[in-house]
Amino acid sequence: MAVILVVWLTGLNSMRVIKTNIDGVVIIEPRVFGDERGYFLETFSRERYRKEAGIMHDFVQDNQSWSRRSVLRGLHFQKEKPQGKLVQVTSGEVYDVAVDIRKGSDSYGQWVGVHLSDENKRQLWVPPGFAHGFVTLSESARFDYKCTDYYNPGDEYCLRWDDPTINIDWPIKFPLLSEKDARGLLLEELP
């Protein structure tokens, strides 16, 4: 029993961090330990995520959403108190998108998209200053995320999911949108 414990503890020290085309946005593939009984993985460790993924922020709020197929949520952001988000899917599959809306940034208006699922167990780090959203590709999906600042409904905005200047290559053409998300702003209209 003690030998197995040592193997698990030493194995926890590694995860794969994949850089994207936008500086600061990274995909994280946690190390998964599994056998015929199931699996175990560590979804967050402050010191390791700081050291290996460069996430220097502290998290103050955890959120979870559930969506059915074709639901698109986003692209949301807060202006005065921007939230960084460490996101993952614990059931189902989504296509997750982060758009750089930091004025003056070299990658302003550019986006990163990644498939997140309960099978691939990937996480996406979306730094503060990005609009974020996802569309559900499976029958349903449970989406969990850690935030670096508190949700403030009076400070929340929505970037239009189909803004032609950003030109996100969503995997579906006719998503189900909330009324708020359907009225999202174009990049040129952001406050």
CB 71 within 8 A of CB 176: yes
Residues annotated as catalytic are 76, 145
Mode of pairing for the β-strands spanning 111-117 and 15-19: unpaired
DSSP codes, the chain? -HHHHHHHHHHTT-EEEEE-SSTT-EEEEE-EEEETTEEEE----HHHHHHHH---PPP-EEEEEEEETTBEEEEEEESSSPPPEEEEEEESEEEEEEEE--TT-TTTT-EEEEEEETTT--EEEE-TTEEEEEEE-SSEEEEEEEESS---GGGEEEB-TT-TTT----S-SS-B--HHHHTPBPGGG--
